[in-house]
A and B are shown apart, each in its own frame.
Chain A
Amino acid sequence: MTATQQPPRDKDGRLTPAPPEWTTRPAPPFPEAAIKGLENQVQRANLRHATGTIRAKRARVVAEVDNWQDLRAAGEAIKNRTLRHLDQHLETLEASLTRAGATVHWARDAADANRLIVDLVKATGEREVTKVKSMVTQEIGMNEALEEAGIAAWETDLAELIVQLGHDFPSHILVPAIHRNRGEIREIFREEMGVYGTPAPEGLSEQPPELAGAARTHLRNKFLRTKVAISGANFAVAETGTLVVVESEGNGRMNLTLPETLISVVGIEKVLPTVADLEVFLRLLPRSSTGERMNPYTSMWSGPTEGDGPQNVHVILLDNGRTNALKDPKGREALRCIRCSACLNICPVYERVGGHAYGSVYPGPIGAILNPQLRGVDNPIDKSLPFASSLCGACAEVCPVKIPIADLLVHERHRVVEEKKRHQVNQFEPAMMKAASWVMADHKHLEAAGTASSLAGKLLPIRTIGPLPGPLSRWTQNRDVPMVPAQTFRQWWQENRGSKENHDERA
């Protein structure tokens, strides 16, 4: 296709498959969306199988690493240190990238970033781009912005291709088509591939190798002719201006290597100070995400390389709410996230409701804190997300950078009710959440609260508490509140299961 040729359009007059209708409306808040997710039997079965499998793989490869807890502590410390002086690291990154021959752009928000991307693509004269799977380009709605500007953006990760051709939306950070099974994928490929490029082969079966083969053929044609590619980055090294992309299929390498122009959108929290820091994150990430010792392909590049790969290299450094999160010393911890998705795979809530219920590109426990941090808590979805959790704490235990997700959920709940307080007279809920936040912040607080409440259990000979007064009455309409037991769980554990050594270690 030459630059002057108009790319083909589908029956709706679009260059790429239309996204699902429900994404063009404001998403319903979590409690409403969760019901829809729970009713989807195929999705529930797929998720149970998939998250169970990845959980087991992750546990196995994490157990192989003797110093896993030291690695997590190092990951946490490096990220904290970087975030606390983010301005300096960003200036170093900009200088290194420029020295390496890349052109650096800055974007305050999605609109800034999309405008830059559209202008950069238009300047090449091309009307078609290919993409490496990237959370940040989804966060800014880049594909739709390009479509509106008359540019077709093609997903090249197999799962993202399934989602895009299926007029669907990703439901998992790492395996976006986790909610689809092989039969559905075959139908999507048969019906849609031919509309936008090389059709699926005749007699395509449901076997995963055949389906992957169809994607290989469909996309190879696009890789070989596309002149512009767009990527995100897993890490950006300030010292050298090096961007890092980890992937499995080689679609990342295709995009990073074959085109003439490469545009990378990088969230400002992705920066790492030095090359040496990569040793920590390249061990934490693959084991936490896919449960592999290492992902099949990792690419690193610092600007253009003569005679090898794209010669026009652009990097867009994006805020889009990250400085909102940075402002909150507690919420800042969410910015350590390296998008591994271990917290999704372990979450009992995510496993049942699926990723779409979270109304955002970041689903699961991390989405429930990241979205309100990035976007604020004044809209119905983000207000509901901190409550989309049982606070079981499993997510924090698997997090490779030790984000205390459950504590942050309680912190976000407190923010939500504080926000509500400004609009209504109910003073009870904010006080309760503030108290809960204090109790959850420290194990000594939790033990003191437990001891205090168990006193009531010892003194009162009743089994359930009747209807509660005031705003809590709505909750007790349908539930019995059991009386507080005479002993806290921690006291019981200490007496029955705990050993002296464990206790000493904790203290």
Chain B
Amino acid sequence: MSARDDVLARVRASLTDVTEPDGPVTNWAYGQPTPMADVVARFDQTVTDYKATVVRCPAAEVTREVVRGLAETGAHSVVLPAGCDEQLRRTLEMAADLTVRVDDGSLTAADLDATDAVVTASAVGIAETGTIVLDHGPGQGRRALSLVPDRHICVVRSSDVVSDVPEAVARLAASVRDGRPLTWISGPSATSDIELSRVEGVHGPRHLWVILVDG
């Protein structure tokens, strides 16, 4: 018998006491919001709690804030995902002492390792937990982009911020069903493995700079 048939046969033999089908799922109501006064303000606060920088601005100032974020985190080279904002790309390419690479899929891990920063969009923000979710759609880049460079400048639209995990999962379910990978980011990379002292930055970006766009 194949291992597959063997394991499934053992599972069935172990469950002979279960004769009736499952009833309704649970008493749990899926996708419910968590009550809070101002989801965007809470998101700002919880992301800041994780020692990330949060900057709030109107849509017209995003490009200026990206340039400021790159300068403040000391980045001299930046990678932009395919499908990123055209105006942003042109502005960054004109900036002095900044090398801009646009990811066409040919950049190797070593290329990314030699790049200081990445600028991405995002799919969802979660206020209660201070989490940003990328579903790696246009402007968000493939997964390695927001991982290997040491500084991640991430643009989050206020309209994409939800109260808590249940609302976020409901909003992201379509991406998962489409087979898209998801990356959930809560603050910079961190470890507490040495005597439980929290150290920011092990393998992922050590700086997370969030631009929270009104509207």
Contact partner, A280, options B28, B192, B201, Cβ 8 Å: B28
CA distance A444 to B186 in the complex (A): 46
Counting CB contacts under 8 A, is A455 at the interface?
no
- Of A271-279, A429-437, A461-469, the stretch lying at the interface with chain B is A271-279
Write the nearest CB–CB distance from A201 to chain B, whole angstroms: 16
Decide: A249 near B202, CB < 8 A? Known: A240-B177, A279-B170: yes
Q: Is the CB of B176 within 8 A of A302?
A: yes
Contact partner, A87, options B8, B148, B186, Cβ 8 Å: B8
Decide: A257 near B15, CB < 8 A? Known: A251-B202, A282-B169: no
Q: Is the CB of A302 within 8 A of B199?
A: no
Contact partner, B22, options A85, A212, A240, Cβ 8 Å: A85
CB neighbours (8 Å) of A294 from chain B are 126, 129-131, 165, 184, 186
Q: Is the CB of A279 within 8 A of B142?
A: no
CB neighbours (8 Å) of B188 from chain A are 296
Q: Is the CB of B18 within 8 A of A250?
A: no
Q: Is the CB of B204 within 8 A of A301?
A: no
Q: Is the CB of B183 within 8 A of A299?
A: yes
Chain B, Cβ-Cβ closest to A281: B165
Q: Is the CB of B204 within 8 A of A297?
A: yes
- Of B62-70, B89-97, B105-113, the stretch lying at the interface with chain A is B105-113
CB neighbours (8 Å) of A305 from chain B are 136, 142, 179-181
Decide: A307 near B142, CB < 8 A? Known: A251-B203, A296-B204: yes
Decide: A90 near B11, CB < 8 A? Known: A258-B109, A293-B128, A294-B126: yes
Residue among B50, B179, B183, B185 with the most chain A CB within 10 A? B179
Contact partner, B143, options A162, A212, A248, A257, Cβ 8 Å: A257
CA distance A219 to B184 in the complex (A): 22
Chain A, Cβ-Cβ closest to B30: A276
Counting CB contacts under 8 A, is A378 at the interface?
no
Counting CB contacts under 8 A, is A215 at the interface?
yes
Contact partner, B14, options A251, A302, A326, Cβ 8 Å: A326
Q: Is the CB of B173 within 8 A of A276?
A: yes
Q: Is the CB of B173 within 8 A of A257?
A: no
CA distance A237 to B186 in the complex (A): 22
Q: Is the CB of B142 within 8 A of A308?
A: yes
CB neighbours (8 Å) of B190 from chain A are 248-249, 296
Write the nearest CB–CB distance from B129 to chain A, whole angstroms: 4
Counting CB contacts under 8 A, is B194 at the interface?
yes
Q: Is the CB of A49 within 8 A of B195?
A: yes
CB neighbours (8 Å) of A220 from chain B are 113, 203
Chain B, Cβ-Cβ closest to A226: B109
Counting CB contacts under 8 A, is A216 at the interface?
yes
Q: Is the CB of B169 within 8 A of A276?
A: yes
CA distance A159 to B12 in the complex (A): 38
Counting CB contacts under 8 A, is B87 at the interface?
no
Counting CB contacts under 8 A, is A78 at the interface?
yes
- Of A27-35, A106-114, A120-128, A494-502, the stretch lying at the interface with chain B is A106-114
Q: Is the CB of A182 within 8 A of B194?
A: yes
Contact partner, A70, options B28, B168, B169, B191, Cβ 8 Å: B28
CA distance A50 to B3 in the complex (A): 42
CA distance A210 to B21 in the complex (A): 56
Decide: A307 near B199, CB < 8 A? Known: A85-B22, A302-B181: no
Counting CB contacts under 8 A, is B139 at the interface?
no
Q: Which of A59-83 contact B (CB under 8 A)?
A: 66, 70, 73-74, 77-78, 81
- Interface flags for B1-35 (1: CB within 8 Å of A; 0: not) read 01110111011111101100110011110110010
Counting CB contacts under 8 A, is B196 at the interface?
yes
Counting CB contacts under 8 A, is B166 at the interface?
yes
Counting CB contacts under 8 A, is A157 at the interface?
yes
Residue among B3, B110, B168 with the most chain A CB within 10 A? B3
Q: Is the CB of A106 within 8 A of B7?
A: yes
CB neighbours (8 Å) of A159 from chain B are 191, 193
CA distance A108 to B11 in the complex (A): 11
CB neighbours (8 Å) of A303 from chain B are 179
Chain B, Cβ-Cβ closest to A54: B196
Q: Is the CB of A323 within 8 A of B14?
A: yes
Residue among B4, B181, B182, B191 with the most chain A CB within 10 A? B191
Q: Is the CB of B11 within 8 A of A282?
A: no
Q: Is the CB of A250 within 8 A of B193?
A: no
Q: Is the CB of B170 within 8 A of A250?
A: no
Chain A, Cβ-Cβ closest to B1: A108
CB neighbours (8 Å) of B166 from chain A are 279, 283
- Interface flags for A144-181 (1: CB within 8 Å of B; 0: not) read 00000000000011110010000000000001010001
Write the nearest CB–CB distance from B92 to chain A, whole angstroms: 23
Contact partner, B176, options A50, A242, A307, Cβ 8 Å: A242
Q: Is the CB of B46 within 8 A of A293?
A: yes
Chain A, Cβ-Cβ closest to B129: A294
Q: Is the CB of A283 within 8 A of B110?
A: no
Q: Is the CB of A253 within 8 A of B143?
A: yes
CA distance A215 to B189 in the complex (A): 13
Counting CB contacts under 8 A, is B211 at the interface?
no
CB neighbours (8 Å) of A248 from chain B are 189-192, 202
Write the nearest CB–CB distance from A454 to chain B, whole angstroms: 37
CA distance A84 to B192 in the complex (A): 37
Chain B, Cβ-Cβ closest to A317: B7
Q: Is the CB of A77 within 8 A of B165?
A: no
CA distance A91 to B128 in the complex (A): 35
CB neighbours (8 Å) of B18 from chain A are 84-85
Write the nearest CB–CB distance from A495 to chain B, whole angstroms: 36
Chain B, Cβ-Cβ closest to A185: B194
8 contacts between A and B (CB under 8 A): A50-B196, A87-B8, A242-B176, A249-B191, A275-B176, A275-B177, A294-B165, A323-B14
Instruction: List 15 extra interface pairs beyond A84-B18, A248-B202, CB under 8 A.
Output: A77-B25, A85-B21, A106-B6, A208-B197, A209-B199, A249-B190, A249-B203, A268-B11, A275-B176, A276-B173, A279-B168, A282-B169, A290-B192, A295-B186, A305-B180
Task: State the 7 A-B residue pairs at the shortest beta-carbon distance, nearest first.
Answer: A250-B204, A308-B142, A298-B184, A250-B203, A294-B129, A74-B28, A159-B193
